[in-house]
Chain A
Amino acid sequence: MCGPGAAVPGSNVHTSTRGAFMNHPQLPLGLALRDSARFASFFPGPNAEAVRCLQLAAVGEGETLVFLSGDTGLGKTHLLQAACHEAARREHAAAYLPLNELKSLSPELFDEMEAMQLLCIDDVDAIAGLPEWEAGLFHLFNRTRESGSRLLITGSGHVDRLGIKLPDLVSRLGWGVTYTLKPIDNDSVHMALMHRARSRGLELPEETAAFLLKRIPRDLPSVFTLLDRLDEASMVEQRRLTIPFVKAVLDEIC
């Protein structure tokens, strides 16, 4: 079995996939190694309604507050980054705030952020129990009500279950539309793999995909990380993704 990849779709926790595979050290030209987090590269599966809601909110339509919950690896980060990109395409000011990474800094980061038309706040659980951050987010929330900014917020579960101590903040998080991202089933993982391969111009025969899914964990981060590696290996080796070739790559990296 392959170990699951470290990167969730679209995250920037880059596992270095640049390097030599097998016997030929020739590097590809750094093309298409990163799947940008876009709505088009997200396989909606059972989450089509949530995705549509985010797409609209990103460009200033529909809901003004969306809370997206769900387990790690379902694509919350991907969707928020896609929303930022979409907003920027319409020249809407947008910011992405991953609280898990930013909590070591200062809640002053929230100052005047209500000037953004779209604020994407990832991993709100990260600041649960940190009074200054909780109050900072609560105040930012109130200011966005006046400025009219849209807020897209993610967390691991229902707002009541995040461990946030400030009840004022909890009640505000529950004010908007809440969606829980659902994991996708096996057939959908297959479809997602084909979808991702197509979206990056990679020819992945059906039988190779079926072979792959028998050999690796069927969660999307693992599947997509592996696809990155296969893409690169196929470029380095100038080989098509046949079953023998994929098997050789898997043997090499697992």
Chain B
Amino acid sequence: MSLWQKCLVRLENELPEQQFNTWIRPLHAVEAADSLQLLAPNQFVLDWVKKHHFNTISRTLHDLGQNVTPRIQLDIGSTNKTPATGVITPGNRVPERPVPGQYKSNLNGDFTFETFVGGKSNQLARAASIQVGENPGGAYNPLFIYGGVGLGKTHLMHAVGNLILEHKPDARVIYLHSERFVADMVKALQHNAINEFQRFYRTVDALLIDDIQFFAGKERSQEEFFHTFNALLEGQQQVILTCDRYPKEVTGLEERLKSRFGWGLTAAIEPAELETRVAILMSKAAQSNTELPDDVAFFIAKHIQSNIRELEGALRRVMASARFTGRPIDLEFTREALRDLLALQDKLVTTENIQKVVAEYYKIRVSDLLSPRRSRTITRPRQIAMSLGKELTSHSLPEIGNAFGGRDHTTVLHACRKVAELRDSDARINEDYKNLLRTLTT
């Protein structure tokens, strides 16, 4: 047992367990004959340990080292010198000098077009992405993909990158989250390496930046990104961006950036419809070599509507429970495994809640929805609320009719059919319906 390991055993017994696990456990020791270097993951931990635990560590080492205390040095660092994906960006190589030509893509190889499940909700974004993958730096530059959380924006972005690499294996394709761009820039400024930073980002073949809404309010980063963006577009290098909303709607972003984001192609991803959610579940299950019966996939997809991550989370839970219990995945088993999750959802979506949300949305009163009034301004929201009731709750048609001022089940049936028809013919009604669905399920 090394000196530090002995010290850990002692400290684990002396310090409250929580403090030990928070501040001491994350330290990594590099031991030499007469010195001990302790690496903290960040400046904050280092400062805390120095202030609150250094004396205890020092005393303990002194006791254990039979009164010969090694020289203790606290630094920032870890054993993992490079991230697992191995991308080398100015941020994680500063302050070392960059090695010319050293580059390794950090794309996720699992995110390809083959594993991306297409549907009505994403067909334009998918088609545009394939175009860009086939012909980077061409007409669709930048490609701006936007949509709510967990709908597959990042997957599409990686898929484009992977396709570019498939056609041109030596292409320099860089994927990063906007936060990483900001962090890299800050580090480059701190280390006087902004020129390297600029050179690095301006010489890639394709730059993929995720969640650019996080640039909001960061003026210096926006400035830097603006110039990088211009340089890339001028050089016909591809830029792909994702965002949680339409460019013009991002507050805290400079106007000139917003307008440039619209220069290429802007494509939306909508929440996936039931059939696509089912197909996604089947695809994910197949990737894990799990057989998922159709009725189970429909059951999960019908209950989890908010986003694909939650859908995946539910599937993972079912698969984990099946592994643990050794039981086959069938409807009864799935219902049991997801009971907690679904109980919460059911609690959330009640007929009363639907009525309240729909009334608020259309700026009418709940009592209007329940009243006998038949004017268009009331009837339409009422039909939509009934249709949502059918889709989101497990209530029967008579139960729903009853909850809407004692109406007949045929009225509910008519409402559901009418809404389905209107959603196909009237984009505004379709948009309203989707907004309400999202509000009620997230």
Partner of B78, one of A67, A85, A112, A120: A112
* Bound-state Cα–Cα, A178 to B321, Å: 11
Residues of A within 8 A of B180 (CB): 143
Q: Could you give, for residues 79-119 of chain A, a 1 whenever the CB lies within 8 Å of some chain B CB and a 0 otherwise?
A: 00100110010000111111001100110111111111000
Partner of A161, one of B8, B84, B85, B344: B344
Total of A-B residue pairs, C-beta within 8 Å: 142
* Residue B199 at the chain A interface, CB threshold 8 Å: no
Partner of B22, one of A36, A98, A168: A98
B41 and A158 contact, CB distance less than 8 A:
no
B149 and A93 contact, CB distance less than 8 A:
no
A37 and B17 contact, CB distance less than 8 A:
yes
* Residue A252 at the chain B interface, CB threshold 8 Å: no
* Bound-state Cα–Cα, A179 to B337, Å: 10
A59 smallest CB distance to B (angstroms): 15
* Residue A198 at the chain B interface, CB threshold 8 Å: no
Given contacts A113-B41, A146-B85, contact A96 B21 (CB under 8 A): yes
Which residues of chain A from 134 to 193 have any CB-CB distance to chain B below 8 Å in the complex? 135, 139, 142-143, 146-148, 157-158, 160-161, 167-168, 170-172, 174-180
A6 smallest CB distance to B (angstroms): 14
Q: Which 10 A-B pairs have the closest CB atoms?
A: A12-B16, A96-B21, A115-B78, A111-B42, A12-B18, A95-B26, A171-B150, A171-B149, A180-B340, A175-B309
A112 and B41 contact, CB distance less than 8 A:
yes
Residues of B within 8 A of A17 (CB): none
Residues of B within 8 A of A85 (CB): 21
* Residue A14 at the chain B interface, CB threshold 8 Å: yes
Given contacts A95-B26, A135-B214, A171-B149, contact A177 B84 (CB under 8 A): no
Which residues of chain B from 31 to 78 have any CB-CB distance to chain A below 8 Å in the complex? 41-45, 48, 76, 78
A176 and B244 contact, CB distance less than 8 A:
no
Residues of A within 8 A of B348 (CB): 160
In the complex, residue of chain A having the shortest beta-carbon distance to the beta carbon of B307: A171
In the complex, residue of chain A having the shortest beta-carbon distance to the beta carbon of B339: A180
B78 and A178 contact, CB distance less than 8 A:
no
* Residue B120 at the chain A interface, CB threshold 8 Å: no
A178 and B312 contact, CB distance less than 8 A:
no
Residues of A within 8 A of B48 (CB): 105
* Residue B302 at the chain A interface, CB threshold 8 Å: no
A177 and B313 contact, CB distance less than 8 A:
yes
* Bound-state Cα–Cα, A26 to B380, Å: 80
B179 and A139 contact, CB distance less than 8 A:
yes
* Bound-state Cα–Cα, A84 to B23, Å: 12
B42 and A113 contact, CB distance less than 8 A:
yes
Residues of A within 8 A of B79 (CB): 93, 115
Residues of A within 8 A of B21 (CB): 81, 84-85, 94-96, 120
* Bound-state Cα–Cα, A229 to B78, Å: 42
* Residue A203 at the chain B interface, CB threshold 8 Å: no
* Bound-state Cα–Cα, A14 to B19, Å: 12
Which residues of chain B from 119 to 156 have any CB-CB distance to chain A below 8 Å in the complex? 148-150
Q: List 13 A-B contacts (CB under 8 A).
A: A49-B321, A84-B21, A93-B26, A109-B45, A112-B41, A112-B42, A146-B85, A160-B344, A167-B442, A171-B150, A176-B316, A178-B313, A178-B341
* Bound-state Cα–Cα, A111 to B180, Å: 12
* Bound-state Cα–Cα, A168 to B310, Å: 12
* Bound-state Cα–Cα, A170 to B324, Å: 27
B324 and A49 contact, CB distance less than 8 A:
yes
B148 and A177 contact, CB distance less than 8 A:
no
Band of interface residues on B: 35 or more
* Residue A208 at the chain B interface, CB threshold 8 Å: no
Most buried by A among B76, B85, B316: B316
Partner of A147, one of B42, B84, B244: B84
Partner of B18, one of A94, A96, A113: A96
B197 smallest CB distance to A (angstroms): 19
B18 and A81 contact, CB distance less than 8 A:
yes
Given contacts A52-B324, A93-B79, contact A175 B313 (CB under 8 A): yes
* Bound-state Cα–Cα, A2 to B42, Å: 44
B83 and A146 contact, CB distance less than 8 A:
yes
* Residue B80 at the chain A interface, CB threshold 8 Å: yes
B42 and A174 contact, CB distance less than 8 A:
no
* Residue B325 at the chain A interface, CB threshold 8 Å: yes
* Residue A125 at the chain B interface, CB threshold 8 Å: no
Most buried by A among B25, B45, B76, B307: B25
* Bound-state Cα–Cα, A228 to B222, Å: 58
Residues of B within 8 A of A36 (CB): 17
In the complex, residue of chain A having the shortest beta-carbon distance to the beta carbon of B179: A139
* Bound-state Cα–Cα, A166 to B164, Å: 32
* Bound-state Cα–Cα, A112 to B77, Å: 9
In the complex, residue of chain B having the shortest beta-carbon distance to the beta carbon of A96: B21
In the complex, residue of chain B having the shortest beta-carbon distance to the beta carbon of A172: B309
A196 smallest CB distance to B (angstroms): 16
Residues of A within 8 A of B310 (CB): 171, 174-175
Residues of A within 8 A of B244 (CB): 167-168
B317 and A177 contact, CB distance less than 8 A:
yes
B320 and A116 contact, CB distance less than 8 A:
no
* Residue A11 at the chain B interface, CB threshold 8 Å: yes
* Bound-state Cα–Cα, A10 to B18, Å: 9
Most buried by B among A112, A170, A180: A112
B44 smallest CB distance to A (angstroms): 5
* Residue A63 at the chain B interface, CB threshold 8 Å: yes
A13 smallest CB distance to B (angstroms): 9
A120 smallest CB distance to B (angstroms): 8
